[in-house]
Structure 1
Amino acid sequence: MNWRLILTLIIVSGVMAYLGDVLGMRIGKKRITLFGLRPRDTSRLITAITGMVISIAILVTMTVISENVRTALFSMKFIQGQLQSLTRELQESRSESQLMSLTLLDSEKRLREQQEGLISVQEELAMIQPRLEEAQESLSRIQKEKEQLEFEKAALTDSVESLKDESETLRKGLIQIRSGRIAVFAGEILGQSAIEPMSNRDDVEGVFQELRRQAEYVVGARTGLSPDEIVLAVDLEKEMEAIDACAGQANRKFVRILALANAIFGEDIRIDYEVKESFLVYRKGEVLFSQSVDRESARYDPESELHLMLRLVNRKAIQDSIVPDPVTGKVGALDATDFYEAVDILQKSGGRVNVEVSAAEDIYTEGPVRITLSIRPEDGEIQRED
């Protein structure tokens, strides 16, 4: 409460009422008339004017003392207009605020839904993550397997191409074989010779030259060409290595000249040298095999029996370190005449006979195994020996 304003209004009202009363009494005593009125009416008019002056004085006092009263008296309509405008703006603000509140609630709801969806997605992602890692590992493994398969495919492609080339070569070789135009076969021995211990290099080179001449004569005899027309293709570096391996050695060596590949008539013949240790395996006259044969047996077949014995001798010789022919796998051969003479003797013999296979000469590692057949009755009488 504004006590100063209230006290001021009471005092001013009292002073003005007092002054109006004094002025009215004086005018009434003097019997003054205004505007042709009677004194009583004049007194009443003065009293009314005094009340008006009191009101004016109160308003003036309030206006002077209170800024709020001045505002209420002189700016009320402006303030009311501002209040109405502010009220409208407030209402609009409240509406906007409510709308924003609703929008915010809707946004919060959507945000909660999005958060819930995000949580659900995160949970699903957490569940999928191990499978994703497993799938990545499987993909990596499959990628490696794919690369391996591609590498194997490339290798197989190369192998297939190589096999095709080899097949074509074999096909051509087969055609040549069928047409009888093969001069030498791969791995075939074209000549061999022994080299004695401590041979000097010149002697060894002479042996190698002789081996080449042997090879030329062998091929020339097959093809009908002159040995001078036969061309032997050899790696000179390997030939020098083979000569070095034989020259000045304390042990006996043997050298074989081998065909590296099939060659048709007129082609150069690729050759290589095989150098191995040579030592005495069988001495002359040493019995290599002995078997008793019963002529009276129901299953007796002298030719088959003799073939079987020779195969057994061949096997035994290989087991005893004789180096076989790489193409035929045999270590020697028996003359057909000698073979069938022995068969004839076995057919004509009666009872049990003993067949001995002996070394015809000293036989070394390189062979060949030359043999003699001795057919004796078990009573000791010699039927045949050659």
Structure 2
Amino acid sequence: MLTFGIRIILLLLLIGGAIALIGDYVGRVIGRKRLTLLNLRPRYTAFAITILTGILIVFATLGIMLIVSQDARTALFGLEELRNTLTEKSQELRETKKELDQRVAEREKIDGELQSARANLQKAKLDITALEKTKDKLAREVEVSRKGKVLFKVGEVLLTSVIQAGPEKKKLEEGLKQILSAADAYVRSFGVEEEKHLIFMPPEEFDRAVSALQIRRGENIIMVAATRNALFGEEVPVRFEISENKLIYESGREIAETIIQPGLSVPEIEQEIKRLLSNTHLSARKDGVLPDPSGSMGSVPYSEILTLAKKIKGYKKGIRLKTIAKTDIYTIGPLEVDFKIYYQ
């Protein structure tokens, strides 16, 4: 079987040969008969016929190629368009390659950053592990040091509260149990982590307190005090100390006083006011006002002290400054005072 291309070539050879043969025959006939074409001499007429024959061979060849071959048609009439398309595709290919190179570079950069992030993450995990080990070690060391520390000394007051005395035993028992629970919570606030109760009171001590309150009247002060030194984490044995919540100062009563000379600076006047407050606390404690477990009986904001110092600074002569009870003050406190200024 002959291929399509070989058959086309044979066809072109046959047609070209036939046309050449016909042209040669026509040329010889014209030469013998001395014919002319367009008033040309016979010799030139033969030349013209030969040229026309060659032209016909070319046209025939092109015609057949264009009829039977799409590639031939594209080569003759679409070559320029194909060349432009090829140029555009080449440009697109270069741009695509450039973009691909950029993407590859970005990918390599991201891979590098990812690798660095993974390394940092691994390092962070190791650091966290080391910190956790250090934390556990420190916690154990703190626990060991705490276990050897005296948390409460004998006689130290853990909690101060009030209760309404009277004959109702059940109400008294509930109130005292709430006070013991508050004391237990206070001990745990130091960081003691135990499931058991941290406060222990002998039943006879508890019953004694209930009996004492049954024969009393009015508001009474209950202080929870340690009966021996207690180490950190140990159960704290306690007892109740009961006293009447008496009225110590009526509202408006003078507690302490001082004299402030003229010409002092504001900071110096502040020191005089603080000294007066310290004497006020000493007098109140001497008269029976109880401090809380932290040792405080009340405080005055610094802004109030500063305002008062500036006010006194404006006076042209010495003054007598007194502290007076702001409200009725009982044994349980707190010690709340106002200031009163007198000219000398």
Under a length normalisation based on structure 2, what TM-score does the superposition of the two structures give? 0.48
Higher RCO (Cα < 8 Å, 6 or more apart)? 2
Larger Rg computed on CA atoms: 1
Under a length normalisation based on structure 1, what TM-score does the superposition of the two structures give? 0.43
